[in-house]
Structure formats: structure tokens, C-alpha cells
């Protein structure tokens, strides 16, 4: 955070009329406060303007929470310019607690489903900021240590398909997806200690195409880690849970083509063949439409084509009881 000044003011160009936010570092610490004050072109003195008694307090002064979220989201959209937003959010006094309060405040609206689009939008903004924290290399370890991803799991456990719930589901998956993107064994170990795989499988069954794609990507990244592959193949129950959902998704792609989703499905299947027992079982459980060329017309990139060729090859070799040829060897890597 050395590139940040001791005080950073975000004026109306970010915050909109009537709101000015100032980020100030406490002397001798890594703690930042987000302070707010009104800004207006009128001549009314600040002492005459009374803050709303219903506004929550973020940092050291009353702040319009919706406005503050909008400010932070606009900074997040300009992350290539403001690269230290994640440490700023994490070390700013009370900020993460306020974001978590936004999240937990709608838990009662999940069941029975009474969530409004406005509520969903507010929480999605908070989740997007948490994704920023999850992505940054300095804030990811304490983010995991605080077990913050667990606050998102109730959104993945809903079965309501209304748009506002789907947005919550997708944005929550985005936070988890940001974690697994970095190929960090500590991230995989943390996720395997939770219920993330069953929750992703649930989304893969009933989510939208986009949320299915992100959920499948998360499962794929977990299985690409050796610990993750061992975990999903350790018991027949876990293997069959994944294999049955993948097979169902292949049939769905046959009816509603999605090259992006098919790419991640194929990679998941291919990774399963790296486990000898799972590869042997796949001979009976892999959909025929995936191995007989029916879906080839939906594959748009060469890498996915090679993955599918390797998948068919591995299953064919396993059926004859021979050793598997590794993907890296086949691709000359």
C-alpha cells in the first residue's frame, strides 16, 4: 500500500452528489478509516445538516451505506488503477464487519424466499468487494483464516430459481472461483474442509448456464489438485455424486449447447481418469454422446478437442487393462 497517500479523498465524481468519502490511515498502523461527510454546492453550513439517524456507521462517521457500496464498487471496476483496494478494505476499521452484516441481514429472506431485487443487488455489491479481497495475495490468507467463505454458503444452498437468487448464487460462486484460480494448496485444503463440493454439485444440477459453468470450474480446479482428486475418489459415494451430475450435464448440453460449460465438463472427466479406479468405473458411466463424436460440433477450441481425445484414449486403454498415457505426454508438454 506504499503507493497510497496518508489520506485519499473520493469526491462526487465517484460518490455522487451529497456524499464525500475520505480514506485515512491511522498514524503508525496499517489500519484505515473510511470517513464520510456531506458535500453540496449550497451555502448551508455542515453544522446545520443533520445526519440520518438510520444510517449505519462505517468508520468514524455516519455514512449512507448504499452510497458507500457504490463508491467502493466503482473503485473495484477501476482495479487496474486502484490496485490496493483489497488491503484497504481489509485493514480499514469495521469495513469487513459491515460487508458481512450486509450479507447476514438477508438470511431470513432465503427461506421462505422473500428476497427483493433491491436487497439482492446490495448484497451482490458487498460480495463483489469480498471477491476483490479473496483475489489479492496479501488479503487471501487472512480471508481464509477468518472463514469468510462460509458466510456465502447459504446462498449456494437455495433452490429458488428467481433472478435475484440466481444473482446471489452466481456472485457467491465468483468469490469461490477467485480463490481457486490461484492454484494455492491452502485454498484447496480449506475448501475441502467445508461443504463446497456438494454445494457446487447442487448448482450444477439446478443453476443457470452461467452459474453451472462457474460451479463446474470450481470443481475442476479442486480436482486438478492432487489432494482434491484423492478426496473425490476416496469413496464410491463421492465419485458417483460427481459422475452422475456430470452425466446429467452432458445430456443438458446436448439439448442446450454451451461450449464453455462443455469444456469444463470434459476437463473434469479427464481429470477423473488420472485415478485408476475412477477411470475404470467411467467405462460404464460416461455418456455415450461424449465419446461417439455427437458433441464434437460444440467444441470450439483445440485444447478442448485434445482433452476429449485424451479422455477417450484413457478410457479405451483402461478397458483393455493397460497403463494410461498422461495428458502432458500426449500433448508434448
CATH classification of the domain holding 244: 1.25.10.10
**In-domain check, residue 68:** no
pLDDT at 317: 85
Kindly tell me if the per-residue pLDDT of 56 is higher than 50.
no
Does residue 92 sit in helix, strand or coil? strand
**Grid coordinates of 123:** 448484497
**E strands, the chain, in order:** 7-10, 20-25, 32-37, 57-58, 61-62
Average pLDDT, the chain: 78
CA distance 52 to 65: 11
Could you read off the pLDDT of 268-308 as tens digits, one per residue? Answer: 999 999 999 999 999 888 999 888 888 888 888 899 999 99
Residue 98 CA to residue 170 CA, distance in Å, equals: 21
Residue 102 and residue 147 in contact, taking contact as beta carbons nearer than 8 Å: no
Average pLDDT on 185-195 reads 96
Does residue 313 sit within a domain? yes
Residue 212 sits in the same domain as residue 168: no
Determine contact, residues 144/186, Cβ cutoff 8 Å.
yes
- Quick check: 4 pLDDT over 60? no
What does the pLDDT read at residue 170? 95
139-144: long-range pairs with CB below 8 Å, 24+: 139/86, 139/87, 139/89, 139/90, 140/179, 140/182, 140/184, 140/187, 141/186, 142/90, 143/90, 144/179, 144/186, 144/187, 144/190
Parallel, antiparallel or unpaired: strands 32-37 and 20-25: antiparallel
pTM recorded for the entire structure = 0.76
CA 299 to mean position of chain CA atoms: 25
C-alpha cell at 15: 460518490
Q: Comparing C-alpha atoms, which of 56, 57, 84, 54 is closest to residue 72?
A: 84
State whether 220 and 297 are in the same domain. Answer: yes
Same domain for 260 and 299, yes or no, is yes
On whether residue 89 sits in a domain, the answer given is yes
SS3 81: coil
Rounded to an integer, the average pLDDT of 327-332 is 38
Domain, as residue range, for 248: 197-320
Q: What is the C-alpha separation between 91 and 79, in angstroms, rounded?
A: 17
CB–CB of 285/233 below 8 Å?
A: no
For residues 117 and 215, membership in a common domain is answered with: no
Structure confidence at residue 321 (pLDDT): 62
Q: Say what the pLDDT of residue 291 is.
A: 84
**What's the CA gap between 62 and 54, in Å, rounded?**
9
Neighbours of 62 (CB within 10 A): 19
Distance CA 298, CA 5 (A): 51
Do 103 and 151 lie in a common domain?
A: yes
The β-bridge relationship of strands 57-58 and 61-62 is antiparallel
pLDDT of residue 92: 87
Same domain as 203, residue 154: no
The DSSP output letter for 225 is S
Give yes or no for residue 55 having a pLDDT over 90. Answer: no
| Count of structural domains within the chain | 2
Least confident window among 8-17, 20-29, 141-150, 236-245: 8-17
Cβ-proximal residues to 135 (8 Å cutoff; 6+ apart), any chain: 86, 178, 181, 182
Q: Is 330 inside a domain boundary?
A: no
Q: Using one digit for the tens of pLDDT, what is the confidence trace for 112-165? A: 999 999 999 999 989 999 999 999 999 999 999 999 999 999 999 998 999 999
Amino acid at each position: 500500500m506504499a503507493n497510497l497517500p496518508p489520506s485519499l479523498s473520493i469526491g462526487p465524481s465517484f460518490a455522487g452528489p451529497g456524499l464525500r468519502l475520505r480514506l485515512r490511515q491511522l498514524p503508525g498502523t496499517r489500519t484505515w478509516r473510511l470517513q464520510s461527510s456531506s458535500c453540496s454546492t449550497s451555502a448551508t453550513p455542515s453544522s446545520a445538516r443533520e445526519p440520518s439517524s438510520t444510517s449505519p456507521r462505517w468508520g468514524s462517521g455516519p455514512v449512507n451505506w448504499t452510497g458507500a457500496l457504490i463508491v467502493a464498487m466503482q473503485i473495484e471496476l477501476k482495479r487496474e488503477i486502484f490496485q490496493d483496494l483489497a488491503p484497504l478494505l481489509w485493514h480499514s476499521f469495521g469495513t469487513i464487519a459491515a460487508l458481512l452484516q450486509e450479507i447476514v441481514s438477508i438470511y431470513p429472506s432465503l427461506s421462505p424466499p422473500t428476497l427483493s431485487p433491491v436487497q439482492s443487488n446490495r448484497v451482490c455489491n458487498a460480495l463483489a468487494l469480498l471477491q476483490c479481497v479473496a483475489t489479492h495475495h496479501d488479503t487471501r490468507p487472512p480471508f481464509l483464516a477468518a472463514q469468510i467463505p462460509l458466510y456465502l454458503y447459504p446462498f449456494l444452498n437455495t433452490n429458488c430459481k428467481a433472478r435475484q437468487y440466481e444473482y446471489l448464487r452466481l456472485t457467491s460462486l465468483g468469490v469461490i472461483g477467485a480463490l481457486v484460480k490461484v492454484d494455492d494448496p491452502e485454498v484447496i485444503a480449506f475448501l475441502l474442509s467445508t461443504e463446497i463440493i456438494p454445494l457446487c454439485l447442487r448448482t450444477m444440477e439446478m443453476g443457470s448456464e452461467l452459474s453451472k459453468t462457474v460451479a463446474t470450474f470450481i470443481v475442476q480446479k479442486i480436482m486438478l489438485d492432487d489432494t482434491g482428486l484423492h478426496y473425490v475418489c476416496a469413496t464410491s459415494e463421492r465419485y458417483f455424486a460427481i459422475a452422475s451430475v456430470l452425466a446429467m450435464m452432458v445430456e443438458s448440453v446436448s439439448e442446450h449447447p454451451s461450449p464453455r460449460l462443455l469444456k469444463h465438463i470434459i476437463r473434469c472427466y479427464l481429470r477423473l481418469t488420472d485415478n485408476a479406479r475412477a477411470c475404470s468405473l467411467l467405462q460404464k458411466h460416461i455418456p455415450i454422446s461424449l465419446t461417439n463424436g455427437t458433441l464434437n460440433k460444440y467444441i470450439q477450441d483445440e485444447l478442448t478437442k485434445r482433452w476429449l481425445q485424451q479422455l477417450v484414449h484413457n478410457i479405451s486403454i483402461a478397458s483393455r487393462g493397460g497403463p494410461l498415457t498422461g495428458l502432458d505426454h500426449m500433448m508434448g508438454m
